Structure 1
Amino acid sequence: MAHAAPTVHRRHRGTTTDRTHHFGKSAMVRALLAGLVYGVWAAFIKRQMGPVDAGNVFYGILCGALFAGIMFTLGRMGSRLPRELHAAAYGVFAGGALGYLYSLTGDSVLRSAGLGIAVGAATAVTAFYRYYMREP
């Protein structure tokens, strides 16, 4: 008995520009959500248990927008850097962001700097390991 030859079913996966455009949207959403959390956190710390006023809201929006802008730019441009620089850029960004938030609490500058350096170094090492393992 004759049987039909098996055929390969192919799915349409979209063009490269569709995938790139989708990546851009998800990176933008991720940066905006992280910026929103960072801005609310910064405004909450800056408020210091007082009433919420327009200055606190503006401060939170400004901090969140700067954080989101830097995060989005680093996500888009970081892949063009060598893995060592890419990991160092993420380390500097994470350390600086967390050190700044800690400095808003009114604690010493040395403790803020120490925490920022520790977080930045841990982030840079983790990012370097991730990029080293995924690079062909």
Structure 2
Amino acid sequence: MGPRAAGLVKWAMPVVGGLVYGFWAAAINRDTAAITGWNVLFGFVCAIAFAAAWIGVRMMAPLMKRELHALMWMAFAGIAFGFLYSQTGHTVLRSVIMSLAIAGSVFAVLFYRYYTHEDAEGHRVD
């Protein structure tokens, strides 16, 4: 993949992910069968917030050490999942527990990946 295509993918992923996230949040939040203007607005606000957070984490995380890098993605995944899960009508306690389970899993996987993809001086090799 050339640099131009990589740059396109770098920006397309958060936008497409945000649109999917916003649509999903709006679909969960809808009370009736009819789609309302407030429901569409809610979906777009969620999409923009998700995409902005993804871009922010993607820009800041590589500057951190592997622990903080994994921790930033963990927080992003946990918050994003927790918000969607809270829209389903479950209790706050259940939303927190489910969110922590997802966040912990993301941290474990990413910490392992970042730990195994460093050389002896702590520089990323990929």
TM-score bin, normalised by smaller chain = 0.7 to 0.9
Aligned residues: 118
| 1:58 and 2:41 aligned | yes
Aligned to 2:14: 31
What amino acid does structure 2 have at the position aligned with 1:71?
Answer: W
Query: Structure 2 residue aligned with 1:77, among 60, 73, 77?
Result: 60
| 1:87 and 2:70 aligned | yes
| 1:46 and 2:46 aligned | no
Report the structure number with the largest CA radius of gyration. 1
Aligned to 2:123: none
Query: Structure 2 residue aligned with 1:112, among 72, 89, 95?
Result: 95
Instruction: Give the TM-score normalised by the residue count of structure 1.
Output: 0.81
User: Percent of aligned pairs with the same residue?
Assistant: 37
Which ranges of 4 or more aligned residues in structure 1 deviate by more than 2 Å?
21-25
What secondary structure, in the 3-state scheme, does the structure 1 residue paired with 2:89 have?
coil
Kindly provide the CA deviation profile for residues 30-59 of structure 1, in whole angstroms up to 9, marking residues without a partner as x: 111110110000000010343101101010
| 1:98 and 2:61 aligned | no
| 1:68 and 2:65 aligned | no
Query: Structure 2 residue aligned with 1:128, among 111, 119, 126?
Result: 111
* Distance of 2:80 and 2:105 partners within structure 1: 14
Cα contact 1:87–1:128 (8 A) shared by 2: yes
Cα contact 1:83–1:131 (8 A) shared by 2: yes
Please, which runs of 5 or more residues in structure 2 have no aligned partner?
120-126
Measured on the aligned residues, the alpha-carbon RMSD in Å equals: 1.5
What amino acid does structure 1 have at the position aligned with 2:79?
Answer: G
